[in-house]
Structure 1
Amino acid sequence: MTVLGKPRGRLRSGIARLTGPQRFLLAGSFLIPLGSFAVLPFMSVLLHERLGMGLGTVGVVLAVASLVQFSGGVVGGAVAERIGLRHTMLLALAIRTAGFACFLPGLRHPAAAVFALFLVSVGAALYLPANKAYLIHQVDAEQRPLLLSASGSALNAGIALGPLAAAPFVLSASAGLFTAVTALFAVITAGHVLLPVESPDRAPTAGTGQEQTPPRREKVFAGLAVLPFTTTVLSLYVFMFFQHYLALYAVPRTSATYYGLVLALYALLLVVAQPLLSDRIARLPYARALWLGFGAMAGGMATLAVGNHAAILAGALLVCLGEIVLFLKNDLEALDRSPRAPAVVFGHQRLAAGIGAFASGIMGGAGYQLAERGGGAGLFWVAVAAQCVLLPLLLSRWTALRGRGR
């Protein structure tokens, strides 16, 4: 009880120390994905079935929009460094609100729907780095894990609930749904107007946890934390195999209802465990966190290969633990290792996530098809598990060689 009580006690005290703006941003971290994912998961249905776009065209549109949303985080970080965090959030939310409003004429005109989707993607790219940076702006180093994990939990809760709330209205009351989402974003934007302008940004000195004012604005990729960036690419690379292909694998072996239950339990574990474990994850040495995170993912992917009900649930929950450790630790390590402002660091990390997701998408479809032809889809998960074991070995070897080179 003592061991469990300490993190819970720190969690309660950390929550009690939250400022008004931090509480507002955490609420927004739930409401923004709630509204966004009430719409975005159904874009393929809207573009193809309602507007008559070909599936090939729909795929290209969605791929480019995703690339803008992820890679644009680098631009978002640079913009925040120049015009400020609050101003960047307001600009991003104004663009995103306009995007959701444009979906109304987009219900009749494909070009307007595509334009609306890209506005929403640009707004997300600008908003996320500035949002996370404002949340941890000039807080003590020990508060960062809780704030970032709580933000992640709120975001994942919104992602999980958005499609459930919107599913009955997507096709039957599309105009009303888009109007409601636009109104929600207008209210959130108005709330951001009331946030205080942050004091002059101060970037962490790499490896010290102390802060210093950067002497000048630098190029976008100056000060890139190479190891956390690379690890984030690889973390998203293996994780997105699970994200993209679990439904294809699990539903025929169980049922759509059981798959929905697995996703619900996954989301619940993610939302609850992230803040509870944040302090321990922050105190883990980076090398150990990588072994734990990739090890949990390896165990989860290998368990999925069994293919029965219990294995699919257990495998998914193990992958969830790997996500909790790797995603939070990579961000914390990038903040600690980079001399740049947090918004720029989060932009770098966002780009890394996009590269990993893109690589996974390129490799995954062909890999899954090859495994099915070669003896069963379970082989696909065995291959992913093997990569999860190999990656920390390669990262350890790479860091050792870099250390010798210095």
Structure 2
Amino acid sequence: MSPRSGRPAGFTGPQRFLLAGSFLIPLGSFAVLPFMSVLLHERLGMGLGAVGVVLATASLVQFSGGVVGGATAERLGLRRTMLLALVIRTVGFAAFLPGLRHAYVAVAALFLVSCGAALYLPANKAYLVHGVEEARRPLLLSASGSALNAGIALGPLAAAPFVLNFSAGLFTAVAVLFAAITAGHALLPAEGPSPAPAGPGREDGEDTGNATRQSVLPFAVTVLSLYLFMFFQHYLALYAVPRTSATYYGLVLALYALLLVVAQPLLSGWIARLPYARALRIGFAAMATGMATLALGNHAAILAGALLICCAEVILFLKNDLEALARSPRSPAVVFGRQRLAAGIGAFVSGVAGGEGYQAAERADHAGLFWAAVAVQCVVLPPLLTAALRVRRVRNGSPTSGVSGETA
């Protein structure tokens, strides 16, 4: 905080560089990755079944590998881990050039990129908040999230005119971009030592077992949040385009991305101050309302439902990360790695359950029932989860204040 103004101090040079990287890295990645199914199937002749297995496995590696990324960062150091990850990703994107002629090389390139992402993201977030007072973490993490979402939104738009007709040039440009970003990371100062975090209710010297048990809740809530959210992410296009148009669906996505980019930093302080239980109630209520609104199926309902779900994403995803940091005795890199694993588990289960569920609703000619069923889960599953964790804590002889009430 600035002692004179009482306002938060500005970002440091390394923080500004990492925030710029949080935009450029997904911009480059999502100039390529959303088109992988087209490349593998239409250009390289892989069957759709094989393509699905490759993409699902790569996603699982990227998410679950966050645990390995966090452990690596804890041992190797944050800056070194980011550099290693970026070298791997740069090699991966460069390998797409020979991959344009050989499917097995393209698959190997995809897995290199996924492994690099698994290593990079926990170390990146941990470096961003390293040595930063707790009050400034929400703004930094939300600004990083906004930059990332802006890159994700713009990457496919920027690459669409080139991905099929000028693939080699596109992959070359992305590899050069990652090489430049890697060189920039080499100039970052090495992080210094930092004291072990003290979670809520934990004084120095207190047994860390209780803090570790407390950290189970943000992990479990992240699994649930992604499980519910990914129904929206995976199946909105199938639902919205036939009922509106591809152009209208694109407008919905653009407004969603704009709200996400703007709202995350603006609301970060308020979200950080919210008691965890209240944040969960607000977030899951917004998600439930948004899913129920989608079930109406008209233009206004699809837009309103999407924006309500965006509000839920802003609240739940940031609050879960902040709460995981506060409750865990481990380093931020390990915490963020575990959160990535939680996100991967939720997304995987959602993909498995959602396909059959949406197909059944479509066959019954009542696709709106799919969204109504998801809305019911948004209402029912959060209290069931906290109740189950409360029972688990009681059986383990731990206090229950960390699961229910205003401290969630």
So what's the TM-score if we normalise by structure 1? Answer: 0.93
**1-side partners of 2:100 and 2:51: how far apart?**
15
Letter in 2 for 1:50: R
**Structure 1 residues 190-269: aligned runs within 5 Å:** 190-207=183-200, 225-269=215-259
Aligned match of 1:161 in 154, 157, 160? 154
Aligned match of 2:383 in 385, 390, 393? 393
What's the secondary structure of 1:169's corresponding residue?
coil
Q: What is the number of residues matched between the two proteins?
A: 390
Letter in 2 for 1:181: V
Q: CA RMSD in A?
A: 2.0
Name the counterpart of 1:93.
86
| 1:321-375 deviation per Cα after TM superposition (whole angstroms, max 9, x unaligned) | 0000000000000000100000000000000000000000000010001112234
> Are the structure 2 counterparts of residues 363 and 304 from structure 1 closer, same or farther at C-alpha, using a change threshold of 3 Å?
same
Which deviates more, 369-378 or 36-45? 369-378
1:211 CA displacement: 8.6
| 1:349-405 deviation per Cα after TM superposition (whole angstroms, max 9, x unaligned) | 000000000000000010001112234100000000000001222133234434544
**2-side partners of 1:122 and 1:210: how far apart?**
37
Aligned match of 2:131 in 113, 131, 138? 138
**Structure 1 residues 121-132: aligned runs within 5 Å:** 121-132=114-125
Name the counterpart of 1:63.
56
What's the secondary structure of 1:171's corresponding residue?
coil
**Structure 1 residues 299-310: aligned runs within 5 Å:** 299-310=289-300
Name the counterpart of 1:311.
301
| 1:97-156 deviation per Cα after TM superposition (whole angstroms, max 9, x unaligned) | 000000000000111101100000000000000000000001000000000000000000
Aligned match of 1:294 in 279, 284, 287? 284
1:203 CA displacement: 3.0
Name the counterpart of 1:6.
none
**2-side partners of 1:163 and 1:388: how far apart?**
30
Structure 2 unmatched ranges of 5 or more: 399-408
Name the counterpart of 1:370.
360
| 1:220-258 deviation per Cα after TM superposition (whole angstroms, max 9, x unaligned) | xx7782000000000000000000000000000000000
Name the counterpart of 2:101.
108
**Structure 1 residues 341-352: aligned runs within 5 Å:** 341-352=331-342
**2-side partners of 1:200 and 1:56: how far apart?**
48
> Are the structure 2 counterparts of residues 211 and 243 from structure 1 closer, same or farther at C-alpha, using a change threshold of 3 Å?
farther
Name the counterpart of 2:404.
none
**1-side partners of 2:274 and 2:81: how far apart?**
33
Aligned match of 2:14 in 15, 21, 24? 21
CA contact (8 A) 1:224 1:348 kept: no
Confirm or deny that 1:185 pairs with 2:178.
yes
CA contact (8 A) 1:141 1:209 kept: no
> Are the structure 2 counterparts of residues 198 and 145 from structure 1 closer, same or farther at C-alpha, using a change threshold of 3 Å?
same
1:206 CA displacement: 1.9
**1-side partners of 2:200 and 2:82: how far apart?**
28
Letter in 2 for 1:143: R
> Are the structure 2 counterparts of residues 126 and 265 from structure 1 closer, same or farther at C-alpha, using a change threshold of 3 Å?
same
> Are the structure 2 counterparts of residues 131 and 386 from structure 1 closer, same or farther at C-alpha, using a change threshold of 3 Å?
same
Aligned match of 2:165 in 159, 164, 172? 172
Name the counterpart of 2:31.
38
> Are the structure 2 counterparts of residues 99 and 209 from structure 1 closer, same or farther at C-alpha, using a change threshold of 3 Å?
farther
Identity of aligned residues (%): 77
Aligned match of 2:373 in 345, 369, 383? 383
CA contact (8 A) 1:202 1:211 kept: no
So what's the TM-score if we normalise by structure 2? Answer: 0.92
**1-side partners of 2:39 and 2:156: how far apart?**
14
